[in-house]
Amino acid sequence: MTDGARSATPPGLTPREVATHCPYCALQCGMTLREDDAGVTVLPRQFPTNRGGLCQKGWTAAELLDHPERLTTPLVRDPATGALLPASWDTALERVVAGIRAVQDDAGRDAVAVFGGGGLTNEKAYALGKFARIGLRTRHIDYNGRFCMSSAAAAGMRAFGIDRGLPFPLADLGRADTLLLVGANPAETMPPLVRWLTEQRRNGGQLIVVDPRVTATARQADLHLQPLPGTDLAVANALLHIALTEGWVDRAYVADRTSGFDAVRRGVAAWWPARAEQLSGVPVADLEATARALGTGGRVIILTARGAEQHAKGVDTVTGYVNLALALGLPGRDGSGYGCLTGQGNGQGGREHGQKADQLPGYRRIDDPAAREHVAGVWGVPADELPGPGVPAYQLLDSLGTPGGPRALLVFGSNPVVSAPRAARIEGRLRDLDLLVVADLLLSETAALADVVLPTAQWAEEDGTMTNLEGRVLRRRALRPPPPGVRTDLAIIADLAARLATAETPATQPPAARPPGTEPTSTGPAGTRPEAVAAARFPAAPAAVFAELRRASAGGAADYAGISWDRIDANDGVYWPCPTEDGPDTPRLFADRFATPDGRARFHAVDHRPAAEEVCATYPLHFTTGRVLAQYQSGTQTRRVAALRRAAPEAFVELHPDLATRLGIDDGDPVRVTSRRGEFSAPARLSAGIRPDTVFAPFHYAGAGRANSVTNDAVDPISGMPEFKICAVRVEKA
């Protein structure tokens, strides 16, 4: 057993096991947790996505359950000393409510904002969106998933009328004759998925990877295209140009199942391979070999990920690969298709049920009158009381504390001090707030700035559902209750909603009846139970929340109405859409039609444009970010796991040896990376697997090694995705 797979528990405990899922990436590997006198042990479990395999992060996940740095009591900042001090839940929550009241009384409802996370369960994501809209009545809510998969979501919506990362089961990857991965490195980001890549190649399939670095995934590929960061769209258009020239376009499919192809055909006519080579650096021969493998393969799958998305033209870049897939007739064809590898644990479900600024549950648009009527009916409020659309994540964060911007922020499941682009600027914005509230299990870099910190339950201490990268809704099961002093996010949301409702309710009004499964969370002044007032609207029990989510999503694009916990348990998960309990779910989309009004997929003509920031004499190098195997996201959890910390203890700057020689840098030397927005420092790591004009650093680290101190905050105009993957920097020996 890897270090960290056990945690201390009281002696004499009756052994208990529960089947659940890993708390990290969107693969959501099945695992079994066993608790006995020796502690909590992670055991493998046969589940369709991972077939018993786990990565190092999964094996060590239980170490955090009893971590010595775990928060077990609320913290409130002392205005006199500035220190965060332990407080009771009543004191902490009343501080939050008083701060919200003061800000909204002075500056209006929208002066309070909410920032969520792609790791929250479906129930928590739903409750958080509902709390923002009818508890706080603010339009300002978004989440860190905007930094993860928003460009692919927007591209999928405009092409297919629906956004589901993989519109087919993961097992299809193992049967593909040709598999193209664009900007994806699953060997480090979701290692158990590599089993499907290995199976694909063992079956005689060809794996092609597009990535500026020779990653662990690229090393397994039959062909690796190594473009300049920011030129993936030029590569996509050149591949479609070749397919047209060679006659590999499925013209019958295009005519019968799509619209808009003529404009795309005219646009890619200008992208002859030599032009794409000059721009991207990918040789013509490699472009032609890739197009041939895609155009002549029997079962062909194209997958994109963050490398293609995290650009100010991310939606257009993903659309370029969607156009290629549609022209080849892949989506909806058995064993073929286009998909996107979702990153965060509930990155799929987290964006379906109301955390996004422009969405209501079921993937409904908040500016759609019919959607507003439906959801308002479920919530028991008039539709005209629901606020309108908010703004995307970076715009929201950058407006905090500014004139006319939100003056209070509630954060659940995110650490933007590390994860946001131009992070020093966002850190400053957070410091400018009148009130910052963070709910977390550890004192993250963002929580350390908060006025109030609320300790929350972990993945093994609460029930709920997650939706993995296939659109498969899964059950997360509690092994044990949270420690004394710790509450679930749902209980916190319910209590805050109740206290806010009490502030607006006449004292003579009797409390509302409590629905089954909603337990009291606190006692307010004079022995009253303020949480009872809003209990009917904000239950704290996950099962009750999921039952309401089903009703709210019914008829939407992401329809969960027919998904029950019992059905999930009986079937290794249920794929949405699933409108009825006695009807089928949908493992594969697009077999007969697309989710557009006329049933046709839509081409969109897209053209390459330069990065938002180009290199110059002062900043002559391209900088790109990514992940490493042993760390996850902002590192709040994984940087505290001993085995993972040993495996990847600090940030680094990857440079080509030729570049290092020119700069007088040796392997291991401390170097400083500087952009127009800031700088960070880390040891140099020399690698011939990166382009000589490009440097790379992982973004998991805080402090002096925070890579997002230099990244560009330019955003995609459609998705709001920041340009994490390319900016101009200079590198010097520190």
Confidence class for position 524, pLDDT limits 50, 70, 90 = very low
Q: What's residue 77's pLDDT? A: 98
pLDDT at 517 over 70: no
How many Cβ atoms from other residues are within 10 Å of residue 646's Cβ?
A: 10
What is the side-by-side order of every strand in the sheet holding 178-182? 223-225, 206-210, 178-182, 300-304, 337-340
Q: What's residue 504's pLDDT? A: 58
Confidence class for position 14, pLDDT limits 50, 70, 90 = low
Q: Mean of the pLDDT values across residues 347-367?
A: 95
The domain 75-147+347-575 is placed in CATH, from the list 3.40.50.740, 1.20.120.1200, 1.10.340.70, 3.40.50.300, at: 3.40.50.740
Query: What does DSSP say about strands 75-77 and 452-455: parallel, antiparallel, or unpaired?
Result: antiparallel
Which are the contacts of 428, defined by CB distance < 8 A and separation ≥ 6? none
Three-state SS at 233 = helix
Query: What does DSSP say about strands 574-575 and 472-476: parallel, antiparallel, or unpaired?
Result: antiparallel
Q: What's residue 595's pLDDT? A: 97
Residues forming a β-bridge with 181? 209, 303
The 10 Å CB-count burial string (b at 16+, else e) for 253-287 is bbeebbebbeebbebbeebbbebbbebbbbebebb
> How many residues are listed for the chain in this entry?
734
Q: What's residue 38's pLDDT? A: 86
Q: Where are the alpha helices (DSSP H) in 65-113?
A: 89-107
Q: What's residue 509's pLDDT? A: 33
How many Cβ atoms from other residues are within 10 Å of residue 511's Cβ?
A: 18
Could you tell me the fold of the domain covering 621-733? Answer: Barwin-like endoglucanases (2.40.40)
Confidence class for position 520, pLDDT limits 50, 70, 90 = very low
- Which helix (H) or strand (E) is 18 found in, with range? strand 16-21
DSSP string covering 239-261, please?
HHHHHHHHT-S-HHHHHHHEE-H
Q: What is the DSSP letter of 296?
A: H
State the Cα–Cα distance between residues 40 and 42, nearest whole angstrom. Answer: 7
How many Cβ atoms from other residues are within 10 Å of residue 410's Cβ?
A: 29
Q: What's residue 525's pLDDT? A: 33
Which are the contacts of 126, defined by CB distance < 8 A and separation ≥ 6? 353, 354, 361, 545, 548, 549, 552
Q: What does the pLDDT look like over 226-237, one tens digit per residue?
A: 999 999 999 999
Model pTM score: 0.93
State the Cα–Cα distance between residues 191 and 593, nearest whole angstrom. Answer: 33
pLDDT at 529 over 50: no
Instruction: State the burial class of residue 509 (Cβ atoms within 10 Å of its Cβ: 0-12, 13-18, 19+).
Output: exposed
Note whether 16-66 and 151-341 share their fold: no
Q: Mean of the pLDDT values across residues 605-625?
A: 97
Q: Mean of the pLDDT values across residues 192-197?
A: 96
State the Cα–Cα distance between residues 359 and 356, nearest whole angstrom. Answer: 5
Tokens representing 523 are: 């006692």
How many Cβ atoms from other residues are within 10 Å of residue 733's Cβ?
A: 13
Confidence class for position 691, pLDDT limits 50, 70, 90 = very high
Instruction: State the burial class of residue 461 (Cβ atoms within 10 Å of its Cβ: 0-12, 13-18, 19+).
Output: middle
Q: Where are the alpha helices (DSSP H) in 616-656?
A: 642-647
Q: Mean of the pLDDT values across residues 267-280?
A: 98
pLDDT at 8 over 80: no
What is the percent of the chain where pLDDT is above 70?
93
pLDDT at 582 over 60: yes
Q: Mean of the pLDDT values across residues 705-719?
A: 98
pLDDT at 515 over 60: no
Confidence class for position 13, pLDDT limits 50, 70, 90 = low
- Which helix (H) or strand (E) is 294 found in, with range? helix 284-296
Q: What's residue 15's pLDDT? A: 77
Cα torsion 275, 279, 283, 286 to 10°: value is -90
- In Å, the largest CA–CA distance within the chain is 80
Confidence class for position 343, pLDDT limits 50, 70, 90 = confident
What is the percent of the chain where pLDDT is above 90?
92
- Which helix (H) or strand (E) is 159 found in, with range? helix 150-160
- The Cα angle at residue 608 between residues 603 and 612, in degrees rounded to 5: 125
Confidence class for position 523, pLDDT limits 50, 70, 90 = very low
- How far is C-alpha 458 from the geometric centre of its chain's CA atoms? 18
- How far is C-alpha 202 from the geometric centre of its chain's CA atoms? 31
Tokens representing 258 are: 């799509």
State the Cα–Cα distance between residues 727 and 660, nearest whole angstrom. Answer: 19
State the Cα–Cα distance between residues 345 and 148, nearest whole angstrom. Answer: 11
Q: What does the pLDDT look like over 302-319, one tens digit per residue?
A: 999 999 999 999 999 999
Q: What's residue 49's pLDDT? A: 94
Q: What's residue 685's pLDDT? A: 98
pLDDT at 375 over 70: yes
**CATH number, span 16-66:** 2.20.25.90
Tokens representing 500 are: 């806010």
What would the 3-class secondary structure string for 299-367 be? Answer: CEEEEECHHHHCCCCHHHHHHHHHHHHHHCCCCCCCCCEEEECCCCCCCCHHHCCCCCCCEECCCEECC
Confidence class for position 730, pLDDT limits 50, 70, 90 = very high
One-letter identity of residue 551: R
pLDDT at 263 over 70: yes
Confidence class for position 12, pLDDT limits 50, 70, 90 = low
pLDDT at 521 over 70: no
Q: Mean of the pLDDT values across residues 685-711?
A: 97
pLDDT at 533 over 50: no
Q: What's residue 535's pLDDT? A: 55
In the chain, where the domains are located: 16-66, 75-147+347-575, 151-341, 621-733
- How far is C-alpha 237 from the geometric centre of its chain's CA atoms? 27
Q: Mean of the pLDDT values across residues 552-563?
A: 97
Q: What's residue 648's pLDDT? A: 96
Q: Where are the alpha helices (DSSP H) in 527-599?
A: 542-553, 565-570
Weakest mean pLDDT among 111-120, 508-517, 659-668: 508-517
Q: Phi/psi of residue 417, each to 5°?
A: -60, -30
Which are the contacts of 436, defined by CB distance < 8 A and separation ≥ 6? 408, 409, 411, 430, 449, 450, 451, 452
From residue 572, give the alpha-carbon distance in Å to each of 19, 467, 565, 568, 583. Answer: 11, 12, 11, 6, 16
- Mean of the per-residue pLDDT values of the chain: 93
Three-state SS at 316 = helix
Confidence class for position 76, pLDDT limits 50, 70, 90 = very high
Confidence class for position 66, pLDDT limits 50, 70, 90 = very high
Q: Class assignment of domain 151-341?
A: alpha beta
**If you compute the radius of gyration of the chain from its CA atoms, what whole number of angstroms results?**
25
Q: What's residue 534's pLDDT? A: 52
pLDDT at 440 over 80: yes
pLDDT at 384 over 50: yes
The owner of tokens 């593909």 is 176
